[in-house]
């Protein structure tokens, strides 16, 4: 069983889960509620698309990280990997399949929320300016980068944690802080922030996944 087959199997399992359904439907709804609250309480004309990306990076990142950590911890506790590892299968393929499947599912939810945001901006303003589209693209890159780091952190936490409770605590108090790393180039107003964000994300995800794979390779099942 190779990575593509594992990935397909994990993807099928995650997109059928109730939590993923909540993300795909609930995330755009929550973003709309943020838009309504922002308009009625402050009166500021902040593009809704920007609000969408903020909601995506905070809520979806935490949920995806928890989903990965809990999935790995539960499978360890049920000795699921014992059955997998008696086959000619590399351990890293198990983790990479989970990482990719969850990230793709959450990315779909993110794109749905951003699409709702752009549609709402078009309905309320009657147009989508070039500046708004550029800001949306940059915000989306940052948001998806934060999601990638959150997923990678979730994999590492899932491998390292002995229980679901410990994993959830580490995600909330550790994974969320790590996921802010891709946002630093934008906060620091660095030139070519998108390029720096992408580079930082690739490096951070690689380090987290390498650490997770190394730890997973040393575990006895």
pLDDT digits (tens, 9 = 90+) for 133-184: 666 677 778 888 888 999 999 999 999 998 988 988 898 888 878 888 887 8
Among the ranges 13-22, 89-98, 146-155, which has the highest mean pLDDT value?
A: 146-155
What mean pLDDT value characterizes the chain? 79
Long-range contacts of 87-91 (CB under 8 A, 24+ apart): 87/1, 89/1, 89/6, 91/213, 91/216, 91/217
Number of domains in the chain: 1
pLDDT at residue 82 is higher than 70: yes
121 contacts 174 by C-beta, under 8 angstroms: no
Q: What is the pLDDT of residue 52?
A: 62
Secondary structure (DSSP) of 153-202 = HHHHHHHH-SSHHHHHHHIIIIIHHHTTGGGHHHHTT-TTHHHHHHHHHH
The whole domain housing 112 covers 3-218
139 contacts 49 by C-beta, under 8 angstroms: yes
Spatial distance between the Cα atoms of 11 and 27, rounded to a whole number of angstroms:
19
User: For 42-87, where are the alpha helices, taking DSSP H only?
Assistant: 48-55, 61-77, 80-85
186 contacts 197 by C-beta, under 8 angstroms: yes
Q: Identify the band that residue 88 occupies on the pLDDT scale cut at 50, 70 and 90.
A: low
Residue bearing the bigger pLDDT, 75 or 189: 75
Least confident among 31-40, 65-74, 136-145, 157-166: 31-40
Q: What is the pLDDT of residue 90?
A: 81
Specify the pTM: 0.84
Residue bearing the bigger pLDDT, 61 or 186: 61
Which tokens is 149 given? 């780091």
Compute CA distances 90 → 71, 85, 97, 157, 217, whole Å: 19, 8, 11, 20, 9
Compute CA distances 11 → 15, 105, 106, 114, 138, whole Å: 6, 8, 11, 22, 27
Compute CA distances 191 → 39, 156, 183, whole Å: 31, 31, 13
Query: In the chain, count of helices (H) and strands (E)?
Result: 11, 0
**Looking at residues 101-128, what average pLDDT do you find?**
77
End-to-end CA distance of the chain: 19
């Amino acid at each position: 069983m190779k990575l593509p087959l594992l990935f397909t199997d994990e993807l099928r399992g995650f997109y059928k889960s109730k939590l993923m359904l909540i993300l795909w439907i609930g995330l755009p709804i929550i973003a709309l509620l943020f838009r309504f609250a922002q308009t009625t309480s402050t009166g500021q004309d902040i593009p809704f698309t920007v609000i969408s990306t903020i909601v995506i990076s905070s809520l979806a990142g935490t949920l995806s990280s928890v989903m990965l950590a809990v999935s790995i911890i539960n499978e360890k506790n049920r000795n699921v990997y014992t059955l997998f590892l008696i086959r000619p299968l590399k351990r890293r393929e198990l983790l990479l399949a989970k990482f990719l499947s969850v990230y793709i599912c959450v990315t779909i939810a993110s794109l749905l929320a951003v699409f709702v945001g752009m549609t709402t901006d078009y309905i309320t303003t009657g147009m989508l300016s070039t500046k708004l589209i550029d800001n949306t693209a940059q915000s989306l890159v940052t948001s998806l980068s934060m999601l990638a780091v959150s997923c990678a952190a979730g994999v590492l936490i899932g491998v390292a944690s002995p229980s679901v409770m410990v994993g959830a605590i580490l995600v909330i108090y550790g994974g969320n802080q790590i996921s802010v790393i891709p946002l630093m180039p934008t906060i620091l107003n660095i030139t070519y922030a998108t390029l720096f964000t992408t580079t930082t994300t690739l490096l951070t995800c690689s380090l987290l996944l390498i650490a997770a794979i190394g730890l997973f390779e040393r575990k006895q099942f």
